[in-house]
Structure 1
Amino acid sequence: MIKAEAVDKTTVINILSYSFKDNQSVKYVVRNDINSFERIKALMDYSFEMCSMFGEVWMTDDKKGCALILYPQNKKTTARSLWLNIRLIFQAISIFGVSKTLKREAKIQQIQPNEKMAYLWFIGVDPTFQKKGVGSKLLMQIISRFSEMNLPLYLETSTQKNIPWYQSFGFEIYNQMTLGYSLSFLKRRPDH
């Protein structure tokens, strides 16, 4: 696993955009119209930038898979983060979706614990390399990293078929929410 750099941004955005183009949670946030895929790319661009500022972006050695990790405890309002939020509204969410998105985020914030953590925002694999162990290897490396840092790893998923996969790596469901789709909250404590 290698740390992504600015030159890897397009590759990361493409991997995640194709990996999440049918994701219910992403579709809930992103305005659904003729430009939906471009809007998903804008969301992934935003996520890449936020994790570059307040977390980490990791890639597999062959750059076929990637993961965006956010440290919520490090997140703060800056001129750049404000600009990114404004750009996200116009490029991905639309003015009409802001209220719905803010309500969703507030509900999620109520469920997420207020503790020092690593938040696995997105993990994806180039579609031509999916189901070949690339994502599993990356997730194992991420788990190892955060176990060494003694940080719990949190995530949400709206893809119910992925829950057994996460559970096979020691994640446990700690809450669920319905927003017109089911959103499951998972956590994994560091190995000791």
Structure 2
Amino acid sequence: MMIRKANQNDRELVVSILWQAFKENKSVNYIAGKEEKSIRFLIEYSFERCIESGEVFISTDLKAVAMIQFQDQKKFTWKGIISDLKLILNTIGWTNIPKTLARESFIKKHYPKSPFTYLWYIGVDPKVQGNGLGTQLLKHVLFYSKTLKRPVYLETTLGKNINWYLKHGFKIYSKSDRFGFPLNFLRTE
């Protein structure tokens, strides 16, 4: 499998793959609910953020996607503010702002002060999961981050994914049940 950087032309495909992979994810549902439209908008928002201050990788067979962000490269822009407002209107809702901000603040407290790669999403079309595509994509992200001399950080709610990450060199550095579901924080060294 070959991997390339995604661009705006890949947006809908990226969103579709990740929606399929994350529609039952507790952390995503905590922010976006379970409606397809809301989850898709959250993923579109994430896509734009990663295009601006990170990378989006897609397999050339168009079945696997990873979105990474470099937190230290995020910039304050009017476009970003408008994007945040659209996220509130289309996904989070005004009444859920406090819980969303509390979650984001809690997660950010677990980040290092030094530059790192944040693995925001990695997903494979469910029809072809279990065939090694995710592993190849994760190895690509790890190699890419290593060339940048950045550790990779992520959080996951899925117990079945923890062993997969551990097998690929991640370590659990914190756990929490603060939001009503297990949230595991992992990083590479």
TM class by shorter-chain length?
over 0.9
Structure 2, unpaired ranges of 5+: none
Q: Which amino acid aligns with 1:88?
A: L
Counterpart mapping for 1:111-150 below 5 A:
111-150=110-149
Counterpart mapping for 1:66-85 below 5 A:
66-85=65-84
Distance in 1 of aligned mates of 2:61 and 2:142? 19
Secondary structure in 1 matching 2:187: strand
Distance in 1 of aligned mates of 2:8 and 2:38? 20
Distance in 2 of aligned mates of 1:133 and 1:166? 13
Q: Which amino acid aligns with 2:180?
A: G
Secondary structure in 2 matching 1:111: coil
Q: Which amino acid aligns with 2:32?
A: V
Deviation at 1:61, TM superposition (A): 1.8
- Please name the residue that 1:185 is paired with: 185
Secondary structure in 2 matching 1:48: helix
Distance in 1 of aligned mates of 2:109 and 2:183? 14
Q: Which amino acid aligns with 2:78?
A: A
Distance in 2 of aligned mates of 1:158 and 1:112? 17
Instruction: Give the alignment's TM-score, normalised by structure 2.
Output: 0.96
Is the Cα contact below 8 Å between 1:24 and 1:181 reproduced in 2? yes
Secondary structure in 2 matching 1:124: strand
Deviation at 1:129, TM superposition (A): 1.1
Distance in 1 of aligned mates of 2:16 and 2:53? 21
Structure 1, unpaired ranges of 5+: none
Deviates more, 1:39-48 or 1:134-143: 134-143
Identity of aligned residues (%): 38
Secondary structure in 2 matching 1:22: coil
Deviation at 1:106, TM superposition (A): 0.8
Distance in 2 of aligned mates of 1:31 and 1:143? 30
Distance in 1 of aligned mates of 2:107 and 2:166? 21
Given the alignment, which residue of 31, 40, 44 partners 1:29? Answer: 31
Counterpart mapping for 1:1-192 below 5 A:
1-32=3-34, 36-178=35-177, 179-189=179-189
Is the Cα contact below 8 Å between 1:170 and 1:188 reproduced in 2? yes
Distance in 2 of aligned mates of 1:31 and 1:64? 25
Deviation at 1:37, TM superposition (A): 1.1
Distance in 2 of aligned mates of 1:31 and 1:187? 27
Is the Cα contact below 8 Å between 1:31 and 1:97 reproduced in 2? no
TM-align CA RMSD: 0.9
Structure 1 outlier segments of 4+, above 2 Å = none
Q: Deviations over 1:78-97 (max 9, x none)?
A: 01111110000111111111
Q: Deviations over 1:66-89 (max 9, x none)?
A: 000000001121011111100001
Q: Deviations over 1:108-155 (max 9, x none)?
A: 111222210010000001111111111011111111111122110110
Q: How many residues align?
A: 186
Is the Cα contact below 8 Å between 1:31 and 1:94 reproduced in 2? no
